[in-house]
Structure 1
Amino acid sequence: MLLLLYVTTVSCVLFGGSSASEFFEKSMCYGRSLRLPFSFTPPLFNGQLYFTPKKGGSRKLVMDKDEAKDPRLQISIGSVELTDLTERDEGTFSVSVGDAMPYDVIKLEIVECAYKMYRNYGKSYSYTVPRQTEFVEFTPLHSEDLPRVLWNRTDPEANKGSRWQMKGFILAIKNVNQADSGYYNFRKKDNTLLSRIRLTVKENNRHYHTNVNERLLIQNPSFDATWTVTFTPAGEVENNTLMEAGNLVTDDRRIQIMPKGIEINPVNIIDSGTFEFRDQQGHLAQIVIVEVEDEPLPYVLHPYVYIAIIGGIIFAVVVCCCCVKKCCCRNSSSKRHEFAPETAAAPAVYYHDLIQPAGPVPDNSYQPMNSLVSGEPTTTSLEPSVEPLGGQGGYPSPTFGSDCHSSDPVPRFELKRQSIPSALPLVSDSTFCDVYTSDKLNFL
């Protein structure tokens, strides 16, 4: 049964069976291994394996039957594995049997899976390496060169005195610069990749904001070195060298070298721009951006602001005047309403000294029921006399429903009648009484 299965599989490969139509797209991390499908491993597969680089180049033979043509290719029964993948392994793998034309079976893409680390120029960096690490490799960024060995456990003193030091299981780098940017591989004795990091070293950045005629000190990077400083004015592309290898090369007397940096005194508007500090190897250590402004002018308001303020003041005055006028009118009106009822409530008493015409009293006049006319001669006083109601005492206030007339036994003629308001009907129960007293009518 096993022999039949083997014959069937080989027949499918040789005669373009279903396995010939298989095509795989794979993405693998840097340093990992690519395992070929089982149908392309010996003894099932007895042909050739080719590789065509993605970045261009001729096709090359990788495996011929069960013989490896690449030292990284590991072949065994039922297994074919390409170890330690790099960017050079990106491309297409194809197979052929006998004199048949090769056909593509695998398209490989290498993915960067390294841990990303960042440090500023001049700082220190340390990393704890895996315990099984036997050697450390380094490849600069954007370089296609083969990695070089920084440290090997079999010869730990090989890098003594350099900036790279292995202390136990810690890799330390002092005063990093752009030359230290790259990939660090930590491998086992059999070249198996244990860990991979990507270190990026960036320049320091400073920003100064100052005014014309002030003093400006641009500080150097954090440690002592001989710097080359260039200046690019704002809005321009070309730069000018101010200092080279620690020596001042400009003729501008305003610029002086100080122990901690470069002094510009006094600052001018033309000093706005970008200053770059580089070390002796040309590595960019620091970028300084300087912004210089003219002396501030006194603050002047826009004419429209003044117009708005004046308009606001006029509007406020008008509103205040209207409010005051309205309050005064309201107070005077309330005072009139307070005194009006008291005046109307008091009875009106009229004293007439005019002589009324003789003759009978009109029918519509009110005749007092208790008036007494005496036939005997009497003596009357020239002063008007009014007898208080109810006998003796003052003048009491009239009450609702009262008679308004008093019976006085003193012999005199007294005409008393009720005054009828012109605006009210003639009723006998009016609450207001008008008393007229006249000595001129005492003719009896």
Structure 2
Amino acid sequence: MLKKLMAASASLVLMGGLLAGCGGNNNAAGNDGAATNDASNSSKPVTINMFTASPEYTDAFNAYIEEYKKVKPNVTINLEIMQSDYNTVLKSRIAAGSTPDVFQTTAGGDIDTFADYSADLTNEPLAAAMTDAVRANMTSSDGKVLGLPIKGNLFTLIYNKKLLADAGITEVPKTTAQLDDAVKKLEAKGTTPFANAYKEWWVWKHIFQHYVDAAAEDSGQSAKDLVNKFIEGKTTIKEYPALYNNFFNFIDLTVKHGTDKPLERDSNAQVSDFASGKAAFLSGKGAWDEEAIKKINPNLEIGIMGYPVSDKPEQAVIITGADQALRINKDSKVAKETIEFFNWLYTSDYGKNWFSQVAKVIPPIKDAPLPDLTMPKEMDEILKTQKSGDLSVNYSLDTFHQKFGEIMQAYIGGSKTKDQAVQEIEQAWTQFGSAQ
């Protein structure tokens, strides 16, 4: 469980840039985290401390906090957002007994990791409001809904339609050979093919999962079963050409034919490179970047496509689901009021529209409109005729994914060979991949 993960952290440095203080409200006597669905009539002041790792939604979070103040004037929600070292700081706070009232984790495997600190939301209206796929991402191995999604998500290779058209690429590449050909055509027109953000550890998992899905399909098993075999040390990367060959070939391709100094380019720099027309493809990202892209270049024509992971065009699919979860501290003194707040967000008319109109994300709940953005609309059209890939990042913990990113950074930096990287990835999977 989480104690295993925290044991690896000997010290930490708190980063600046916090929007508000976050104090612990845990260890309330007699409070088991259960909540009623009735609105509280109390006018007693209530403070909810919320700790998240999603700075891109700062304005959107503040919008629903302000709106809820109209509904419950006695409730104050303190929002603290941190991106760098968020996981380390969160684990440190939990270990110190100052768990925030609301905190953020990844979904999937991490639902179990933080189960001991999470309120059971199974019978709450917010759980009933979730789409079936999203609810599954929020559910523990023993069938309890222990998280609530920040958003629905879309993972895809993003491209500049005009740059591809100018290079004579009339159809998006769906195979590795077609992608190689597209790279040649782009460079012949003087266009850099790839904008990279390899300074970030988390972009790697978004790319890798597409190749995990292909490897699983090629070997006749589910992505979850394949990942579990890696976690148990029962298989190796070399057994799957999609992982050993195709994934590394793709990374090599993006480095060789991408923007300069890829290990120095973070997410913001990558978005700027793409939005300003310096590169044709944006890798490792998804629907959350559209707003930032359009702020830089409102006229950019964005397209989305599956990664060309093999010589099988049918394996070039987009991936959808929910990979980020908010958790409500079950021992918080304000657990009831916190659950009441999120029940309001997930079931009210304001909440249903908040996802699409304020946050401008893919709603994780039923009966909510899609945002007026290109990528969600293209996703909706694609899924009418094609399947979504499996959100296989959810089957490993972020402790593994972070180590995976560090290994890949060392690989493209030249301090590790491919086989050294492969061996260390396999070791990391067995060491960090599971909460058990």
Q: Normalized against structure 1, the TM-score is what?
A: 0.14
More strand by share: 1
Structure with larger Rg: 1
- Higher RCO by CA contacts (8 Å cutoff, separation 6 or greater): 2
More helix by share: 2
